[in-house]
Amino acid sequence: MARVKLEAGTGIAGFSGRIGNLVFRMSAEGTTYVQQAPAPGSGPGSAAQQHYRRHFGAAARYGRAQQASAAGRAYYQPFVRPARFASVYSVALADFLKPPQIVAVEVGAYRGQAGEQLRIQAHDPYGVTAVRLVLRDAAGRELEQGEAEPEEGGWWSYTTICSHLPGAVRQVVVTARDRPGNAAELVVDLE
């Protein structure tokens, strides 16, 4: 069903929906676009398609929630660029769909002593909100964990709180999170 918005004295202000085999969409700046309706699918799709549809639906709900909240608009508005379909909703949707990346982990100087710094560089176009480290032994048992503190240029720093026997720490597990809650994990094996 198509929707038409009429404004007094100006005529049609907005037109969206479907008429026959045509779909009408209006962009954030008010331009109306028309395209041929997609062909109906031949079933529910593969498990991967169903998963992506659910994930995209969650992203759309997140984008609408950020658009509707004052805090969400304040956070995402600086990332909105003047372009076709640019809005807080589209930026928040893009943020939800793409997790952060762990670019680098500097553990070369770590000798197992308390007070040593481990540095992590994590990137997300819309901001990394937290970086967490877990130090594990050869059997996979957790020896130490904690939150890293942000530094300049996308770097984060974690200061160890415990001393460990030489060679006891065999893995550093780094987890970076963004505003929607996406997580990226990287396991670094120590020699």
pLDDT at 21: 84
pLDDT at 9: 56
pLDDT at 17: 80
**pTM for the predicted model, two decimal places:** 0.74
- Smallest CA-to-CA distance from 116 within 163, 148, 168 is with 163
CB neighbour list of residue 89: distance below 8 Å, 6 or more residues apart: 63, 64, 66, 67
pLDDT at 166: 80
Helix/strand/coil for 14: strand
- Smallest CA-to-CA distance from 22 within 7, 9, 33, 10 is with 33
Helix/strand/coil for 3: strand
pLDDT less than 70: residues of the chain: 1-15, 28-30, 41-43, 84-85
Q: Name all domains of the chain by residue range, CATH numbers in brackets.
A: 1-40 (no CATH), 42-97 (no CATH), 101-189 (2.60.40.10)
| Amino acid in the structure at residue 66 | Q
For CA atoms 41, 43, 48, 53, give the dihedral sign. Answer: positive
CB 136 within 8 A of CB 174: no
pLDDT at 7: 57
pLDDT at 57: 94
